[in-house]
Structure 1
């Protein structure tokens, strides 16, 4: 069953919750611990493979700009797919962004993370 209503953070799977908490805090090492070794991370058309590439991407992205992050939504798609919406404000081009982080879980780890513009 698909559920498209916003959920409180404590309703998210622990792996997703741990990633988001660490990511919002800027702790990329802890965030990447949620990934499978063969994770696929997609952001703005760039596809990265494996935990090391994903961690390098997270570190690079967080070091380029200063910004704040706030979770503004969360949805369960099915047992292995979850979407978390984050609102970013900072000194990056455009200054404001609402992004959907679409998680695919496997064995209680993030096997795929697709980051894209929020779909209303």
Structure 2
């Protein structure tokens, strides 16, 4: 049952697949990051949706090289067994230079089915 009221959790309580994605994305390990997604998953970032492994791989490669930035995990929440939210503080050479982003994960069968990144 989805409550839609996220509960704060410690980062170690995140599902392994989310931690795998976050760690791999931070180190620009595209292959490992991609392994966390269903082949037909979707990612929405900067109001653009990328669907399927090929599109997500292209997005991962582009986002890894487009800007230089630091990223700090500042919050983790569980909505229900298949929905999690992580909050990240980024600082870098992108427009605006500083942003807090919410990563909204939907899991299916142990993999990421949908990821929405928004401020």
The alignment's TM-score, normalised by the length of structure 1, stands at 0.91
How far apart, in 2, do the equivalents of 1:31 and 1:11 lie?
19
Match of 2:72 in 1: 70
Q: Figure out how many residues of one structure are paired with residues of the other and give that number.
A: 117
Q: Which runs of 4+ in 1 moved over 4 A?
A: none
How far apart, in 1, do the equivalents of 2:30 and 2:10 lie?
23
Q: Deviations over 1:8-66 (max 9, x none)?
A: 21100111111111112222221111000000111121111101111110110120111
- Is the 8 Å Cα contact of residues 24 and 70 (structure 1) preserved in structure 2? no
| Alignment partner of 1:37 is 2:39 | yes
How far apart, in 2, do the equivalents of 1:10 and 1:24 lie?
17
How far apart, in 2, do the equivalents of 1:67 and 1:44 lie?
16
How far apart, in 1, do the equivalents of 2:117 and 2:81 lie?
19
CA RMSD across the alignment: 1.3
Gaps of 5+ in 1: none
Match of 1:57 in 2: 59
How far apart, in 2, do the equivalents of 1:86 and 1:7 lie?
15
Gaps of 5+ in 2: none
- Is the 8 Å Cα contact of residues 71 and 85 (structure 1) preserved in structure 2? yes
